[in-house]
Amino acid sequence: MPAGYPFGGGNTGMAADPQEKFFYVSNGGDIDVLAINSMTGALTFISGSPAPGPGPYITIDPSGSFLYADSELGIAAFSLDANTGALTEVAGSPFPIPEGAYAGNSPAALVVDSTSSFLYVVVYVPQEGGASYSYVVG
């Protein structure tokens, strides 16, 4: 990490794009975007970083086209620029958690399947004794 990098506590999410060119760190309210030096592994902030974004849970699809982040309003989706690493929020984002799928509760984990077709979301429901439920976003 860059010297003095301000990692948050337990609410920090991290993900690298599949080409290992960019590293994303969610700090609860914004997402830091860093370029990865392929020779040394050193990280440097890209121009325009941080990008506004929720979190702390983030994931990148295997194609490297999209970054997904949790939000109290649902799932935020961003397109990734493969050349610059920049994030652009997808129209309609954040996408609400459907009624009956524990809407109003924050996601606790996100993962995209290997074909980049489905986003799996685990929702933590504190009023049910901390139970977690999963649903699929197609």
Sign for the pseudo-dihedral over CA of 103, 133, 75, 5:
positive
Query: What global pTM score does this model have?
Result: 0.80
Q: Which helix (H) or strand (E) holds 120?
A: strand 119-125
- Domain borders along the chain are 13-103
Residues 6 or more apart whose CB falls under 8 angstroms from that of 46 comprise 22, 33, 34, 35, 84, 85, 86
Tens of pLDDT along 51-90? 877 767 889 999 999 999 887 777 888 999 999 999 999 9
Q: How far is it, in rounded angstroms, from Cα 101 to Cα 124?
A: 11
What is the chain's mean pLDDT, rounded? Answer: 78
Residue type at position 16:
A
